[in-house]
Amino acid sequence: MKKSDVVKFILAECNNQLPKNNMGTAFAPTNIALCKYWGKRNQDINLPMTSSLSISLGDKGATTSISLAEKDKVMLNQQPIDMDSTFAKRLLAFLDLFRTNKNLSFNVETISTVPIAAGLASSACGFASIVMALNQLFGWELSEKELSIFARLGSGSASRSIWQGFVEWHAGKNEDGMDSYAEPFLSDWPEFCIGLLIVSDKEKTISSREAMQRTVTTSTLYSAWSKQVEQDLPLLKSAIRNQDFASVGKTAEANALAMHATMMSSWPPVIYNTPDTLTKMQKVWQLRADELEVYFTQDAGPNLKLLFLAKDRPDVEFIFPEVQLIQPFKETSKQ
Ligand code: PMV
């Protein structure tokens, strides 16, 4: 199945092929996975090998407005984007899926509140906000499950950015991916804090798309990664339900390390860590030895995301003065 077939299938019930409104505007938060998605069973429509679970970051995300225009135009944080750039090309290829009439052109304006250079997946909130804005523009009235499937076609992790709070993305089994969508798991834990520790703001040497595929095809440890997820996902869900922070932190950290160990065993190897990443990890382990409950998770880059509770915020900020604090649940309630 191709992306365009998925879109046709979902929109088959919608009568309005032309926009119903002048403009669609929507906000979507970015998210950090605590049990990661690493590896696809279908690269065309981004079907994952395993399920995953994330936390959305409150008001850190993207607001996208889409209206009809004479010619396609993209603005990011009030700056026009070069239409020949990789960024614009990826976005336009995604919008092509939704041009119900070939002559439709769009004006897309995105404002991002994701901290600059934080190594946070901006594509997740970007694609999620685009599908939500298109839903409004066309007046499709799609369900959140359908929006999650559309967002998944842009980037896998975007399927989880339709909601706030903890979100689970079900891997699904069907070839058409209609059972591969995310849904909210739980949405309240006000004390839960995330700290961004920037190690480097340079562009990644290898994209997560390429790195994932290399891991699936060359790492002999890949089957162990699937087993790790099978074990971590239920553990995490029960720890979140019970607000057992030590268990959430330990499971999330072990899951991130297992993902990195798996990619490291690919060929050519994929290593996102820098010496500074390892120094920061060691500092976290030393803090835990000194009885401060702080854990980390890490995505496809050298930066770490600390996990801790609000009561330990002064200590964490004292030890890591450069940390950027995010309180996902507090920041949701401000909206
Ligand atoms: O959605 P993508 O293709 O950007 O991949 C995301 C991969 C990780 O961030 C490393 C893990 C995850 O589950 O978000």
Per-residue pLDDT of the chain (335 residues; tens, 9 = 90+): 899 999 999 999 887 678 899 999 999 999 999 999 999 999 999 999 999 999 999 999 999 999 999 999 999 999 999 999 988 999 999 999 999 788 899 999 999 998 765 667 789 999 999 999 999 999 999 999 999 999 999 999 999 999 999 999 999 999 999 999 999 998 799 999 999 999 887 777 898 999 999 999 999 999 999 999 999 999 999 999 999 999 999 999 999 999 999 999 999 999 999 999 999 999 999 999 999 999 999 999 999 999 999 999 999 999 999 999 999 998 765 44
Query: What pLDDT sits at residue 114?
Result: 86
pTM listed for this prediction: 0.96
**DSSP code string of 93-113:** HHHHTT-SSTT-EEEEEEEE-
In ligand 1, the atom with minimum distance to the C-alpha of 157 is 1
Question: Which residue from 32, 36, 266 has its CB within 8 A of the most atoms of ligand 1, so it is best to mutate?
Answer: 36
Cβ-Cβ contacts under 8 Å for 85 (sequence gap 6 or more): none
The pLDDT score that the predictor gives to residue 118 is 61
Mutate to test the pocket of ligand 1, among 32, 34, 38 (most ligand atoms within 8 A of CB): 38
Identify the residue whose C-alpha is closest to ligand 1 atom 6. 157
Pocket of ligand 1 from Cβ distances under 6 Å: 33, 36-37, 52, 121, 123, 155-157, 208-209, 299-300
Name which residue sits closest to atom 10 of ligand 1, judged by CA.
Answer: 299
